[in-house]
């Protein structure tokens, strides 16, 4: 079996970690190169124009930004190349989500990132009605500050000496409010097929040693709670350290050899 040709869109903290991990699996994946808005020197794989990378790849892994998804996702899928996205919150844009659902012949693959329990929730949705689903995310206060917040909230987060509820709303609102760190809520919304059903609460806690995501689900399947506590990335504390390896897992499930555990 020939190695799967992989292009990387974005070469920030997650992109670098994904590349390092994939280079350890050369028998399965061939990294054709990466594209980034900035020139990057001293990289283990070549930097190339987006169009060239797309046509050289069997699958493109997006680890860049919501803006990159908006600009290139449809083009990639319509070229016949598969696309795996990490910046899932970009799909909170209704128009973009509809375009991507209609696009082809390439496939759109959603990376679950730092979220657990997705396979169970997918099965629960097939079984029947989901009455209630909520996500509570707890992070260190310093990574949650956003330009839209009132000065008093910004000051509390900067001080980092008290537990603060910084957001309550649905998954679409969460994706718009936290464009760089709301991909878990977006993934959950896509899993249940409704951005409005998923209720999201974001908390800044100075005592948080890890990033916590807690999902509570009730419906015909019964009642379930999932909790994931993961260490923040040392390079980018706004994201979990497991995310790059979730990308590798998704690539292996979609295109790798061996067992397919889904």
Q: Is the pLDDT confidence value at 238 over 70? A: no
Residue of 60, 89, 108 whose CA lies nearest to 238:
89
Q: Do 249 and 223 reside in the same domain of the chain?
A: no
The pLDDT, as a whole number, for residue 242 is: 81
CATH code of the domain covering residue 46: 3.40.50.720
Q: Do 80 and 175 reside in the same domain of the chain?
A: no
Q: Do 174 and 103 reside in the same domain of the chain?
A: no
pTM, to two decimals:
0.89
The boundaries of the domain holding residue 140 are 118-230
What b-and-e string marks burial along 247-258, b requiring 16 or more CB atoms within 10 Å of the CB?
A: bbebbbeebbee
Residue 235 within any structural domain of the chain: no
pLDDT in tens, 182-230: 889 999 999 999 999 999 999 999 998 888 999 999 999 999 999 998 8
The pLDDT, as a whole number, for residue 174 is: 94
Q: Which of 66, 213, 216, 255 is catalytic?
A: 213
Annotated active-site residue 255? The verdict is no
pLDDT in tens, 113-159: 878 889 999 999 999 999 999 999 999 898 888 889 888 998 888 88
Residue 88 within any structural domain of the chain: yes
Residue 42 within any structural domain of the chain: yes
Q: Do 76 and 99 reside in the same domain of the chain?
A: yes
Backbone angles phi and psi of 97, in degrees to 5: -60, -45
Residue 262 within any structural domain of the chain: no
3-state per-residue secondary structure call for the chain: CCCEEEEEECCCHHHHHHHHHHHHHCCCEEEEEEECCCCCCCCCCCECCHHHHHHHCCEEEECCCHHHHHHHHHHHHHCCCEEEECCHHHHHCHHHHHHHHHCCCCCEEECCCCCCCHHHHHHHHHHCCEEEEEEEEEECHHHCCCCCCCHHHHHHHHHCCCCEEEEEEEHHHHHHHCCCCCHHHHHHHHHHCCCCCEEEEEEECCCCCCEEEEEEEEECCEEEEEEEEECECCCCCCCECCHHHHHHHHHHHHHCCCCCCC
Residue 261 within any structural domain of the chain: no
The pLDDT, as a whole number, for residue 83 is: 97
**Number of structural domains the chain divides into:** 2
Q: Is the pLDDT confidence value at 55 over 80? A: yes
Beta bridge pairs of residue 200: 135, 169
Residue 260 within any structural domain of the chain: no
Residue 37 within any structural domain of the chain: yes
Of the two residues 98 and 235, the one the predictor is more confident about is 98
Residue 82 within any structural domain of the chain: yes
Span 94-111, average pLDDT: 93
Question: Which tokens sit at 6?
Answer: 């992989």
């Amino acid at each position: 079996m020939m190695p799967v040709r992989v292009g990387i869109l974005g070469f920030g903290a997650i992109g670098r970690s994904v590349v390092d991990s994939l280079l350890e699996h050369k028998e399965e994946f061939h990294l054709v190169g990466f594209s980034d808005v900035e020139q990057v020197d001293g990289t283990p794989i070549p930097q190339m124009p987006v169009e060239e990378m797309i046509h050289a790849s069997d699958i493109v892994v997006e680890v860049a930004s919501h803006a990159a998804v908006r600009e290139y996702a449809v083009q990639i899928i319509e070229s016949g190349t598969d696309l795996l996205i990490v910046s899932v919150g970009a799909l909170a844009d209704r128009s973009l989500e509809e375009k991507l659902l209609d696009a082809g012949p390439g496939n759109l693959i959603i990376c679950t990132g730092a979220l657990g329990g997705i396979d169970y929730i997918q099965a629960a949705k097939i079984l029947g009605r989901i009455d209630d689903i909520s996500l509570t995310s707890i992070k260190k206060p310093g990574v949650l500050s956003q330009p839209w917040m009132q000065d008093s909230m910004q000051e509390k987060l900067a001080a980092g000496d008290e537990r603060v509820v910084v957001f309550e709303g649905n998954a679409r609102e969460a994706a718009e409010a936290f464009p760089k760190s709301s991909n878990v809520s977006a993934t959950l919304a896509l899993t249940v097929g409704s951005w409005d059903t998923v209720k999201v609460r974001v908390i800044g806690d100075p005592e948080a040693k890890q990033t916590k995501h807690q999902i509570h689900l009730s419906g015909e399947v019964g009642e379930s709670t999932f909790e994931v506590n993961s260490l923040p990335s040392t390079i980018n504390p706004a994201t979990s350290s497991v995310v790059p390896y979730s990308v590798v897992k998704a690539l292996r499930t979609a295109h790798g050899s061996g067992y397919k555990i889904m």
